[in-house]
Amino acid sequence: MGVLAVLVLPLLLFGISGIIYIYRAVIQLMSKSAVKNKVVVITDAISGLGKECSRVFHTGGARLVLCGKTWEKLEALHDALISVADPSVTFTPKLVLLDISDINCIQDVAKEILDCYGCVDILINNASLKVKGVVQSVSLELDKKIMDANYFGPITLTKALLPNMISRRTGQIVLVNNIQGKIGIPFRAAYAASKHAAQGFFDCLRAEVEEFDVCISTVSPTFIRSYHIQPEPGNWEASIWKFFFRKLAYGVHPMEVAEEVLCTVSRKKQEVFMANPIPKAAVYIRIFFPALFFAIVASGTKDKQKVEEQK
């Protein structure tokens, strides 16, 4: 009896783990079947997340249109995808040069995208540009560049492809955003502003196009982990702000985000927030206890400035 009691807990944990694994496998299989033959446009496909999104949608049988601003990297991605996928169940990806921050060229690029298959079923706005620095050190020119890449670029491409979806009364647009579309973090003012703007735009668009059966989704991870992680310079781990906003395990891996984007598309989720408990708590503290939130942020800012002065 004693031995049986000892074995119950491990067996129970093993059984639960098995059920969770099977559930995830089924969901993943259903997600891939949902995008089969769909025309999927991915911007900045040559980034870490863009490559992972390309991989999961390609193996799911989607007809990919991969956009990026470097032709050589697009070709390398194209070769990598077709070398590992079964050609009998996949489509050869089409490549389109696109610098999302070049607003003047987007209309022409949108026409080129539509010419690939005659329609777009899913648009994944993945392109993004980051900047870090105190407000007074970031030039207005750089502020505008960030807004072009993170806000005006995605909404211009969205507006160019949206009429096709509305006329067909089907389609989905996914914005890969960031936690900074929800809360502002010091030394990233321009980036946070662009992400807030994008979040607001697509929230409004969601309501406007619902009657046309066009789905608008936002996927907001905290931080997307790079493949090669380097330690951050400086040592201010004791800072409250650093603890509050630290990149737990260096953020979410691009593969996890790509799988979530695929699941979001297949289940037509409206909003997904990928975060560990501390960043999630930060969002709610910002809403319900703003004074506490601002105090924590200000404390961390002072700590960082002290470290910079010592250095």
Question: How crowded is residue 303: how many other Cβ atoms within 10 Å of its Cβ?
Answer: 16
Provide the token pair at 245. 């906003």
Question: Which one-letter amino acid corresponds to residue 185?
Answer: I
Known catalytic membership, residue 117: no
Alpha-helical segments (H) within the chain: 2-34, 48-59, 71-84, 106-117, 140-147, 153-168, 189-209, 240-245, 254-267, 277-288, 290-310
CA atoms of 97 and 248, how far apart (whole Å): 35
Instruction: Select which of 151, 191, 227, 284 is catalytic.
Output: 191
Residue recorded with tokens 């392109």: 127
Q: Which two tokens stand for residue 24?
A: 């995830």
The whole-angstrom separation of Cα 113 and Cα 15 is 47
Can you tell me the distance from the alpha carbon of 25 to that of 136, in angstroms, rounded to the nearest whole number? Answer: 49
Active site residues: 191
